[in-house]
Every structure is written in structure tokens, then in C-alpha cells.
A and B are shown apart, each in its own frame.
Chain A
Amino acid sequence: MAQPEESAPQELRPAWSLPAGAAEGLALAVEWPGEVTRDWAWGGSTGKGVTVCILDSGVDEAHPLVGGVQRAVVASVGPDDEVIVEDDTEGDLCGHGTACAGIVRSLAPDCELVSVRVLGAGFTGSGGVLLAGLRWAVEQGFDVVNMSLSTTKKQFAGILHELTDKAYFQRTVLVASAHNMPVESYPWRFSSVISVGSHEEPDPLTFFYNPDPPVEFFARGVDVEVAWAGGARIRCTGNSFATPHMSGLCALVLGKHPELTPFQLKSVLFLTSTNVGGAR
């Protein structure tokens, strides 16, 4: 019977455990205050140093409410199912991505924006394109990915689940629109993402924690004035506009506390929600 090699004792140690005496090495990078207030969470932050990816219909980077985009790409799937990501010169094919980018910018004026367009190649195969775009965004290690979209295709659920978990463990925060229709859709139902529905309050910093998941947070999503394609400004309603409000808040918190894991960030959002500690 083969004996374990003495020269490699570390390989025999369980990979995910905490050996005696190692707890001291687990000091948190950030000193957690006795009370987490909004001022502690994002006071003074402009989102500087944080990159927010807008996975959507493209972004009109010339729009004054968007204020420039660091990079814009379009995702597609090749004949052998390979992910193709190319520079995008089309801008916004609908207006929606521009709206989301403008909302994030309004909350986090100094964040970096990256546009990943997953619309335009036709409906057939759009689920694969969405997945390709998300895969690329996660591989880039962006801090926040705004997903005002979902898919109902069960065949993508498993891969999406893997991707969202991968993002969660590598500190990429996925913020996804919840669905208010009676269908199963993804990825917002996964616990590794921050899922967002709408409330009717006009204040962009009002957001609620929902103690009755799967929707975890409600943010401003009704009658929101947003940037739109062609330099327009229009008023919109939908969970897809509530989502970038939470993405913007994530950018603010991460701008001040870049070391936070998605779990910690979600905890900060919980503690600073309007219906929890946000009023203080």
C-alpha cells in the first residue's frame, strides 16, 4: 500500500478548514464598526476606483448623463459555441443600457463603466449570448455587474448558477432584476446575486431589505427619469431600472471599502436599508 509522501504534508490537510492557531491570520481587512451606518458605508464615496459593467443593449457613451464609458464590447457565440467578444461601435440598440448606465453614474459619479452588449444578434441564440457576455464579464473581474435581464431557459440555469457562484467567490458582485411575472427565471433567484425589485418612492437612496425572499431588495423603479439613446431623457418604470440603483449603491460602498466580499457587501446593504438601519 502506498504511503503518503512525507515531503508533502500540506497536501494531506483538508483544503477548506482552519487548523489550530490559524485563526489569528483571519483578521478582517476592514474594521467593522459597532453600528454600520450609511455614513460609514459610503459617506464621502463617489465610486472612484470601482468598475461597473452594464450587461444590456449597449450604452450611448456620448450621452451627458452617462459621462463616458471605459470600454464597450459586444458578445456573441461563434459556430463552434465559442464566446466572441469584440469592440462595439453600435452604441445602444434600444436605449435601455444607456438608461442603466446613467442611473449608476448618477449615484456613483466617479466609477468606471464598461458596456457589454448582449442584444442585437436576433432572438434565437440570445440566451447563449447573454451567457457569453456574463462569462466574459466575470472573467474580467469587474467589481459590479448590472444585469437588468433574465432568461427562462432551464438549460442555462446550471451554467448560470456556476457562473454566479464563481463571481461571488472572486468578489464580483452581480446585481440582477427580479421578475414580477409568474415564471421561473434566472439568475436573479440565485442567492449568490443581489436581486432587486421596485418600490414607488421617488428617492434614489431609499431601498428596502425584503425579509421574504427570493427578492432581496427593493429600490427605486417607478417613474425614474433616465438617459436614453439619441441623447434623450425619458421617464421609465420597471425592475430593470431599480437594479442599477442597487448597482450604484454597491459602487459607492466598494469605493470606500474595496476589500468587502459580496457577503459582507450584502450585509452592509441590509444594515443600511431604509427599513433596517438606513434612517439612522
Chain B
Amino acid sequence: MSEDLKAAVAAGVVGSQESFRELLQSVVEVARAIFGAEASSIFLLDEQSDELVFEAIAGQGAEKLLGQRFPSSTGIAGWVLVTRQPLVIEDVTEDPRFAKDVAEQTGYVPKGLMAAPLLHEERALGVLEVLDRPQRSQFSLVEMDLLGLFANQAAIALDLLQRARRAESMLAESGEGAEVVARLAATVDSLEDEQRAAGLKLLGAVEEVLRRDEGG
């Protein structure tokens, strides 16, 4: 990768992880609110370790669970991920093994859950879960479609987050220089008009000095 390209990538990437995280968080917050649920979470598939990781959580257990991991192809989330099929389950506590496993991992055992795979193009990126929505007489397919819409949004956010992470790690590998330039570019970009103009002027002067040194 050329230095110019690195700088361009860096400028786009710095700070974007945080934005995509916020987007993910907003998806789970809205999903939780729309379904009137106790909690909602997004699991990211870590392909290297073949594990599902809690990436965003709204509601109960949020602080404790963030970053926790479990095997990618067991349990209900694993089934949803591998088979690409969304499903809704009520009274899941009837399954004693599920209740025990989940309680050990998370300290919170949901009674009912909705789960949908997060699919982007042909990749399965993770799973969206909505836990303990209020019990109604009958679940409707309209809610299932709604879950699918949220899953689609979450998948796009997750894809962006993964891209940003890859770009940042590429930057980190490429040395300190690109990172500094990227941070500077992001800072200048965030300034008000007047300050921004002053910042750009200052950077222009720095560049001139550096080039003069290069030439001399």
C-alpha cells in the first residue's frame, strides 16, 4: 500500500470504530424498545477463534456480558448462525441444560428469545437476539419480519465495524507515522470552520518545513 493511500485509509478509519459501535448499540437499543423486551444483544462471529462474542447489549447484564465469548456452533445462537434461519422460542427455561449453561455464562436466564442471523452478502457475521419480550397470546409473522429488518441493519453495522477494525490493524502494522497523520487529519476535520482553516494553514507550514528539510 502506498503512503498516500495509507494516509487516506487512516483518515477514514480513525474514530470510525467508535461510530460503528454506537450504531450497533443503537440497533440493540431500538430493537429492545420496539419489541418492549428486557434485553437485546448482538454477537459477532470471531472467525479466528471460531467463537461468538457479545458485541453490543441493551438491557440486563450489559456490563458483565460485553466481550464474553462462547463456541460458535452450539446452543441456539450457534444453530441460528450455522443454519442462517431466524427463530423465536418461548419458555426456553424448560430446557434445563440451556438454563444451566446460560446462567453459568451470563448470570441471566431469559425465558423467551428471538434470534436472527446477521447476514451480509454471503457471509454470516453474527446473531441478533431479543430477550424476554412481553408474552402475548400469539406471536405474529409481522414481528418476525421486523426482527429480520433489524438484523439486516445490524449486519451492515457489523460489516462496517469489521472493516474499520481490519483497516486499523493494518495501520498499526504499518508503523506509527500513518497513525499520527490519521489522528491529525481526524482532529482537523472535526474543527469549526475558522479553527479548521487555521489548522490547515499550520499543517501546510509544517509540510513545507519538512519538505525543505527533505530537499536540503
State which of B50, B86, B145 has its C-beta within 8 Å of the C-beta of A238. Answer: B86
Q: How far is it, in angstroms, between the C-alpha of A126 and the C-alpha of B84 when the chains are bound? A: 11
Q: How far is it, in angstroms, between the C-alpha of A154 and the C-alpha of B122 when the chains are bound? A: 7
Assess whether B79 is in contact with A57, with CB atoms less than 8 Å apart: yes
Q: How far is it, in angstroms, between the C-alpha of A237 and the C-alpha of B114 when the chains are bound? A: 9
Spot the interface stretch: A39-47, A79-87, A117-125.
A117-125
Assess whether A123 is in contact with B97, with CB atoms less than 8 Å apart: no
Contact with B along A168-190 (1 / 0, CB 8 A): 00000000010111111100000
A69 interface hit (Cβ, 8 Å): no
Assess whether A119 is in contact with B50, with CB atoms less than 8 Å apart: no
Q: Contacts A119-B79, A181-B148, A222-B140 hold; do A240 and B85 have CB atoms under 8 A apart?
A: yes
Provide the residues of chain B in CB contact with A179, threshold 8 Å: 84-85
B90 interface hit (Cβ, 8 Å): yes
Assess whether A126 is in contact with B73, with CB atoms less than 8 Å apart: yes
Q: How far is it, in angstroms, between the C-alpha of A259 and the C-alpha of B122 when the chains are bound? A: 38
Provide the residues of chain A in CB contact with B71, threshold 8 Å: 122
Assess whether B144 is in contact with A237, with CB atoms less than 8 Å apart: yes
Q: How far is it, in angstroms, between the C-alpha of A240 and the C-alpha of B88 when the chains are bound? A: 10
Provide the residues of chain A in CB contact with B81, threshold 8 Å: 123
Provide the residues of chain B in CB contact with A119, threshold 8 Å: 73-74, 78-79, 82-83
Assess whether A124 is in contact with B47, with CB atoms less than 8 Å apart: yes
Assess whether A94 is in contact with B94, with CB atoms less than 8 Å apart: no
**Min CB gap A264→B, angstroms:** 29
Provide the residues of chain A in CB contact with B124, threshold 8 Å: 123, 152
Q: CB-nearest residue of chain B relative to A156?
A: B122
B9 interface hit (Cβ, 8 Å): no
Spot the interface stretch: A2-10, A23-31, A106-114, A226-234.
A226-234
Assess whether B140 is in contact with A200, with CB atoms less than 8 Å apart: yes
A151 interface hit (Cβ, 8 Å): yes
Interface size on B, residues (CB 8 A): 44
Interface size on A, residues (CB 8 A): 47
Q: How far is it, in angstroms, between the C-alpha of A94 and the C-alpha of B76 when the chains are bound? A: 6
CB contact list, A72-99 vs B, under 8 A: 93-96
Assess whether B82 is in contact with A123, with CB atoms less than 8 Å apart: yes
Assess whether B75 is in contact with A94, with CB atoms less than 8 Å apart: yes
Contact with B along A181-215 (1 / 0, CB 8 A): 11111000000000000111000000000000000
Assess whether B91 is in contact with A123, with CB atoms less than 8 Å apart: no
Q: CB-nearest residue of chain B relative to A238?
A: B87
Residue in A96, A181, A184, A198 with the greatest tally of chain B CB atoms within 10 Å = A181
Provide the residues of chain A in CB contact with B92, threshold 8 Å: 234
**Min CB gap B97→A, angstroms:** 5
Assess whether A228 is in contact with B85, with CB atoms less than 8 Å apart: no
Provide the residues of chain A in CB contact with B121, threshold 8 Å: 152, 183
Provide the residues of chain A in CB contact with B117, threshold 8 Å: 181
Provide the residues of chain B in CB contact with A130, threshold 8 Å: 82
Known: A126-B73, A179-B85, A181-B86. 13 other contacts (CB 8 A): A94-B78, A96-B76, A152-B121, A200-B140, A222-B141, A234-B91, A234-B95, A235-B91, A236-B87, A236-B90, A237-B88, A239-B85, A241-B87
10 CB-based A-B contacts, threshold 8 Å: A120-B74, A179-B85, A180-B86, A180-B148, A183-B122, A199-B141, A200-B141, A222-B139, A232-B96, A238-B85
